[in-house]
Amino acid sequence: MRGGSIRAAGDCAPNASTQLVARCTDELECGRMLSRVTAFIAVASMLTACDERTLPPAPDNLDRGISIYADANYLGVSAQITSDIGDLKSFTGPCAHEIEYGAIQDWNDCVSSIHVAPGWRAIVFRDDDFSGQRLEVTADVPNLQLVPGSCNHDGLNDCITSIKVFAP
Ligand SMILES: [Ca+2]
């Protein structure tokens, strides 16, 4: 291999969610990286329960929980959430985050709009384990840039890490 990228996935197929893309520039580096990526995947697979790593897409008619969207105005990749999530990093999603040897894709710091099912409500948090700046959501939020908050992308856009949901 003369440079390029290494794509590796965890061994919990078909919902292989521990996916990591590593970039390398020469044969030696690629080889070295491959062994590190393999080690990373092995550790990640041991630490995570495979069936907890993906979220269903938003349904057409939301009647339970909330739907989160990667883009404003309910656009982009979506997911339905019906119970509390203490760390969105645990769920494969559309947003890439750099790590030491490449990038991982998850839902952390990603949400830009939220649909709320009738009667349900949610509290979204800037940090994991329901901590940090928070916003109570009782109605649809088409653009998290326009809510109170001090995130780098305005308001609470691309900034949410944990979510509590409340049934009617
Ligand atoms: Ca976003």
pLDDT higher than 60, residue 47? no
Please give the distance, rounded to the nearest whole angstrom, from the Cα atom of residue 74 to the centre of ligand 1.
Answer: 10
Q: How confident is the model at residue 99, as a pLDDT? A: 86
Q: What is the CATH number assigned to the segment(s) 66-95+106-166?
A: 2.60.20.10
Whole-angstrom distance, CA of residue 71 vs CA of residue 110: 8
Element (H, E) at 30: helix 27-47
Q: How far is the CA of 54 from the centre of ligand 1 (A)?
A: 18
154 C-alpha to ligand 1 centroid (Å): 11
137 by DSSP, 3-state: which? Answer: strand
Q: What is the pLDDT of residues 65-121, one digit of tens each?
A: 999 999 999 999 999 999 999 999 999 999 999 888 888 899 999 999 999 999 999
Distance 132 CA to ligand 1 centre (A): 19
Give the start-to-end residue ranges of the domains of the chain.
4-52, 66-95+106-166
Q: pLDDT tens digit string along 9-35?
A: 544 433 334 455 666 677 777 777 777
Separation of CA 90 and ligand 1 centre (Å): 17
Measure 24 CA to ligand 1 centroid, in angstroms: 28
